[in-house]
Amino acid sequence: MDYICGITFAPFVPGRCYNTKEAKESFLKMIESTHANFVIFVPNALQDTPQSEVITMGEESVNEEELTEMILFAKEQGLKVAIKPTVNCRNGAWRAFINFFDEDVVCEPKWGNWFKSYTEFQLRYAKVAEATKCDMFIAGCEMVMSEHREKEWRQLIKDIKSVYSGPVSYNTDKYQEHNVKWWDAVDVISSSGYYPVDKWEEQLDRIEKVVKKYNKPFFFAETGCMSTEGSKFVPNDWCLDGDSDLEGQAEWYKAMMDACDKREWVGGMCLWDWPIKLYNPKDADKYKKYELYAKPACDVIKEYYDKKQ
């Protein structure tokens, strides 16, 4: 696997957002600013609550046609592409808490019904990945409470492989890499690398044991830090509020990339994230989330990505 110098572009946007002039301009600026060679697109689907069995794809979801157009545009720019279809909850609950009784109970929601709906969602976009010759398919993200359902996940990966011929991965959450027992079913192990700025070495030590056990390629399908004061110590806390800290974000990226560069088994990373609509560069300090555009972190990223290509 070639080293992944990636960015996640405009995750969870609703329909009709990709096929705009602004989206294309932002995508080109992403390449110029970071020298990324890989992009992940994240089509969105929703269920009402963590205990809802039905996953829906309507106007809140990017459809096959516009995703196909964006994939082809990315490939025209020379980037490799992955699709990571991700389900979220309308009530705002984090998808990691999607969960049901382990034993079926009459009149209660069931894993079997949920996995049926989730499989339909995944296969919808796996077919797009096959038709557009995507370089990877990632079967969802941070579904922590479902990961013990080994039988269902193995069947899902098998179903995806029946329609998509490229490498298949799954993006587990931070601190969960060692808890997934079915890594042998995927081609690439991936996780969300939101680790504190001063804890990268010990976390990579832990992840290394998993990678060596399964002897699979590994990369961080997500990793990032907000430009908010204190985020470098809790980069996974997207609700953190505080003053702008552009240098703290850059410091975190430097520490993360330096630590990963020492580990030959780390096959790259996809950073979270790049906006679909660019803000005025002069206002970058007002955008205190994970956005990278026009922030000092971009210089760190570009230097590292140039080094790895």
Question: Residue 247: how many CA atoms within 13 Å on its side-chain side?
Answer: 0
Tokens for 131, please give them.
């038709």
Going residue by residue through the chain (309 aa), what tens digit of pLDDT does each one get? 999 999 999 999 988 899 899 999 999 999 999 999 999 999 999 999 999 999 999 888 899 999 999 999 999 999 999 999 999 999 999 999 999 999 988 989 999 999 999 999 999 999 999 999 999 999 999 999 999 999 999 999 999 999 999 999 999 999 999 999 999 999 999 999 999 999 999 999 999 999 999 999 999 999 999 999 999 999 999 999 999 999 999 999 999 999 999 999 999 999 999 999 999 999 999 999 999 999 999 999 999 999 999
Helix, strand or coil for residue 173? coil
Predicted TM-score of the model (pTM): 0.96
- pLDDT reported for residue 61: 86
* Domains assigned to the chain: 4-308 (3.20.20.80)
Q: Is 283 left (phi over 0), alpha (psi -120 to 50) or beta?
A: alpha
Confidence at residue 132, expressed as pLDDT on a 0 to 100 scale: 98
Q: Which residues, including other chains, have CB under 8 Å from residue 194's CB and lie 6 or more apart?
A: 174, 222, 223, 224, 225, 235, 236
